[in-house]
């Protein structure tokens, strides 16, 4: 397959600086789309290339909870006919992985939890429904922290995911499987969900692009809920243009989600290469200081210099309530979770542990079915919402949310986009933070504010740290300014020209 793809892809040879990684599964969706249209490859071949890679690395990475080789090949063959007929959408034939919190009709969806082991949704989530209509190919469902609660993917009931850059390290979370799959070439792109950073942080730790659009731009219908006012579906890709392409297929109003925004369907790749001359870039002061790894800080500062080099005006700005955002998040998200997860009662789906009466059955089912972090958050949320404490915790947290939004409004009156590290550190060893919830929660300190405020944000690789692990730089834009966000990220991506791939992948090509 590698030899064949090299021949097929001769017109699309990667730039000379590139690592010699030329399997179809290592290419970007945009390149593959052009090859498909030129008749130089087929979706069946690309899909086979992904499964070949899965076969080669998956026992070490653990990105997938379910693989769908035969159905994927059927979808690929159908996409090939559609492409041959000449009217296929841009995403047609490009293989995709979906985080296992996204409902897929007829395909088991577990949320990484024992309580949903064996659950087969009777309907599709809207993003997959749209992608399927557009000729997408589903490779499988990816591993994640249980109910998307976590920053390391260690909270999955079905085992951890290993970072393709260093298999002893976490891939980040909660969408760790989607991030690792895209980094390792097991999928061309993937969807995840981002409630407090669960797309951007694993993208950062795995050296891929992670986009969290504006809250409400992508329908949440069929996304199994964690914290409904924060949950946002996002994309994992190996390039910014790919992110724009994938977003174009899934974004837009959906009557099945009352919080989805009235935005028309549009092509987000349009104008992406317009450059950023004169753009006002604000560097978030609170995000480059204490607690930020040296390798992270220098890489992000380098990216900021490059933005200036592209003609942007760079200045310092402040989000003064950053410290409080984390506290507010760890009240709001568990509160909403404790309510959303009340549905797992052993009656309609999932696990049931018998009891003498209904209450005992429910209590035992939930005790046996949920893992430690989910229990911790249900307890936290139940307490924060309980009589006598509601005002002091949940009510106050909602006020802090207002202050965070005001911080952004002030910053965006002076700047078009804001820049910070995505995460304070690069990937950390599996097991390092499992017994210290507060240390684990700190992973999300720079990503949480965009969830509390609904702003779109993206993480792109800015380089490697001294340990050879990827660093991510985060760009944030005002609500529904995905155009500015993607244009900035694309311009920066071109000058950073990050073309490193994990050794796991380059070793295969050698």
- Residues that are catalytic: 99, 174, 198
- The CA distance from 13 to 6, in Å, is 8
Name the residue nearer to other proteins (CB basis): 199 or 505. Answer: 199
Interaction residues for other proteins, span 116-175 (CB under 8 A): 118-120, 122-123
| Residue 348 binds to other proteins (criterion: CB under 8 A) | yes
| Residue 368 binds to other proteins (criterion: CB under 8 A) | yes
CB of 327 to other proteins, least distance (A): 4
Site for other proteins (CB under 8 A): which residue of 229, 263, 298, 494? 229
Between β-strands 189-194 and 95-99, what pairing exists: parallel, antiparallel or unpaired? parallel
Alpha helices in 268-349, H assignment, sequence order: 294-309, 322-340
Site for other proteins (CB under 8 A): which residue of 351, 418, 473, 475? 351
CA distance readout (Å), 28 to 31, 110, 208, 381, 470 = 5, 29, 11, 41, 19
Name the residue nearer to other proteins (CB basis): 228 or 313. Answer: 228
> Which region among 41-49, 211-219, 409-417, 426-434 touches other proteins (by CB under 8 A)?
211-219
Tell me the Cα Rg of the chain.
Answer: 21
| Residue 87 binds to other proteins (criterion: CB under 8 A) | no
Both tokens of 163, joined, read 């970072």
| Residue 321 binds to other proteins (criterion: CB under 8 A) | yes
Site for other proteins (CB under 8 A): which residue of 170, 182, 190, 380? 380
Name the residue nearer to other proteins (CB basis): 306 or 364. Answer: 364
Interaction residues for other proteins, span 442-471 (CB under 8 A): 452-455
Site for other proteins (CB under 8 A): which residue of 38, 84, 308, 392? 392
CB of 81 to other proteins, least distance (A): 28
Name the residue nearer to other proteins (CB basis): 376 or 503. Answer: 376
Site for other proteins (CB under 8 A): which residue of 383, 390, 434, 500? 383
- The CA distance from 428 to 409, in Å, is 34
Contact (Cβ atoms closer than 8 angstroms) between residue 307 and residue 281: yes
Placement of tokens 């089912």 in the chain: 365
Name the residue nearer to other proteins (CB basis): 43 or 198. Answer: 198
| Residue 362 binds to other proteins (criterion: CB under 8 A) | yes
| Residue 51 binds to other proteins (criterion: CB under 8 A) | no
Interaction residues for other proteins, span 474-493 (CB under 8 A): 479
| Residue 318 binds to other proteins (criterion: CB under 8 A) | no
Interaction residues for other proteins, span 97-126 (CB under 8 A): 118-120, 122-123
Contact (Cβ atoms closer than 8 angstroms) between residue 451 and residue 230: yes
CA distance readout (Å), 44 to 22, 49, 64, 453 = 17, 9, 20, 42
| Residue 367 binds to other proteins (criterion: CB under 8 A) | yes
Reported as half-sphere exposure (CB side, CA atoms, 13 A), residue 125 has a value of 28
| Residue 179 binds to other proteins (criterion: CB under 8 A) | no
Name the residue nearer to other proteins (CB basis): 120 or 495. Answer: 120
Placement of tokens 């577990």 in the chain: 110
**Greatest alpha-carbon span in the chain:** 70
Name the residue nearer to other proteins (CB basis): 12 or 349. Answer: 349
Interaction residues for other proteins, span 255-314 (CB under 8 A): 255, 258-259, 261
Both tokens of 434, joined, read 């499992």
| Residue 73 binds to other proteins (criterion: CB under 8 A) | no
| Residue 349 binds to other proteins (criterion: CB under 8 A) | yes
Both tokens of 65, joined, read 């909870």
How many other CB atoms are found less than 10 A from the CB of residue 379? 12
Q: Is 53 left (phi over 0), alpha (psi -120 to 50) or beta?
A: alpha
| Residue 347 binds to other proteins (criterion: CB under 8 A) | yes
CB of 423 to other proteins, least distance (A): 19
- The CA distance from 9 to 20, in Å, is 13
- The CA distance from 418 to 410, in Å, is 12
CB of 180 to other proteins, least distance (A): 28
| Residue 375 binds to other proteins (criterion: CB under 8 A) | yes
Name the residue nearer to other proteins (CB basis): 197 or 502. Answer: 197
| Residue 398 binds to other proteins (criterion: CB under 8 A) | yes
CB of 510 to other proteins, least distance (A): 46
- The CA distance from 430 to 167, in Å, is 9
CB of 364 to other proteins, least distance (A): 5
Treating both helix axes as pointing N-terminal to C-terminal, what angle do 322-340 and 372-385 enclose, rounded to 10 degrees? 100
Name the residue nearer to other proteins (CB basis): 300 or 332. Answer: 332
Nearest alpha-carbon partner for 86 in 29, 37, 125: 37
Site for other proteins (CB under 8 A): which residue of 285, 306, 352, 503? 352
CB of 211 to other proteins, least distance (A): 17
Alpha helices in 234-321, H assignment, sequence order: 240-250, 294-309
Site for other proteins (CB under 8 A): which residue of 318, 396, 494, 506? 396
Is residue 233 packed enough to be buried (19+ CB in 10 Å), middle (13-18) or exposed (0-12)?
A: buried
- The CA distance from 246 to 251, in Å, is 9
């Amino acid at each position: 397959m590698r030899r064949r793809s090299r021949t097929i892809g001769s017109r699309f040879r990667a730039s000379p600086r590139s690592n010699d990684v030329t399997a179809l599964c290592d290419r970007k969706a945009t390149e593959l789309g052009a090859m498909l249209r030129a008749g130089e490859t087929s979706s069946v071949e690309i899909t086979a290339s992904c499964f070949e890679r899965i076969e080669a690395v998956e026992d070490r990475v653990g990105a997938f909870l379910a693989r769908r080789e035969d159905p994927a090949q059927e979808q690929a063959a159908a996409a090939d006919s559609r492409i041959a007929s000449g009217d296929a959408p841009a995403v047609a034939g490009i293989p995709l992985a979906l985080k296992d919190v996204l409902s897929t009709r007829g395909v088991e969806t577990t949320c990484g939890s024992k309580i949903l082991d064996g659950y087969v949704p009777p309907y599709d989530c809207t993003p997959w429904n749209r992608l399927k209509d557009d000729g997408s190919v589903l490779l499988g469902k990816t591993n994640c922290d249980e109910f998307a609660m976590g920053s390391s993917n260690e909270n999955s009931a079905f085992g951890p995911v290993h970072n393709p850059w260093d298999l002893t390290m976490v891939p980040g979370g909660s969408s760790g499987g989607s991030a690792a799959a895209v980094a390792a070439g097991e999928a061309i792109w993937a969807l995840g969900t981002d409630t407090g950073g669960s797309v951007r942080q694993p993208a950062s730790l795995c050296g891929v692009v992670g986009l969290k659009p504006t809250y409400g731009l992508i329908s949440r219908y069929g996304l199994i809920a964690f914290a409904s006012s924060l949950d946002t579906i996002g994309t994992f890709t190996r390039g910014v243009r790919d992110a724009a392409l994938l977003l174009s297929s899934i974004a837009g109003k959906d009557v099945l989600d009352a919080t989805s925004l009235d935005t028309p369907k549009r092509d987000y790749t349009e104008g992406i290469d317009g450059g950023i001359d004169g753009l006002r870039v604000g560097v978030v002061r609170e995000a480059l200081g204490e607690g930020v790894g040296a390798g992270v800080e220098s890489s992000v500062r380098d990216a900021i210099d490059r933005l200036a080099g592209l003609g942007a005006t760079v200045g310092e700005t402040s989000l003064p309530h950053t410290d409080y955002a984390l506290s507010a998040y760890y009240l709001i998200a568990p509160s909403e979770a404790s309510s959303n997860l009340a549905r797992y009662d052993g009656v309609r789906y999932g696990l049931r542990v018998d009891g003498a009466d209904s209450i005992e059955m429910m209590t035992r089912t939930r005790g046996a079915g949920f893992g430690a972090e989910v229990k911790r958050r249900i307890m936290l949320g139940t307490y924060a919402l309980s009589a006598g404490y509601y005002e002091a915790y949940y009510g106050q947290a909602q006020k802090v949310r207002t202050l965070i939004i005001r911080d952004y409004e002030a910053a965006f009156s002076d700047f078009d986009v804001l820049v910070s590290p995505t995460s304070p550190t690069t990937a950390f060893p599996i097991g390092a933070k499992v017994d210290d919830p507060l240390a684990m929660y700190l992973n999300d300190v720079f990503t949480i504010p965009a969830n509390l405020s609904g702003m779109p944000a993206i993480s792109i690789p800015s380089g490697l740290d001294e340990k050879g692990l990827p660093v991510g730089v985060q760009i944030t834009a005002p609500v529904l300014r995905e155009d500015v966000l993607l244009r900035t990220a694309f311009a920066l991506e071109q000058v950073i020209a990050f073309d490193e791939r994990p050794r796991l992948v380059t070793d295969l090509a050698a």
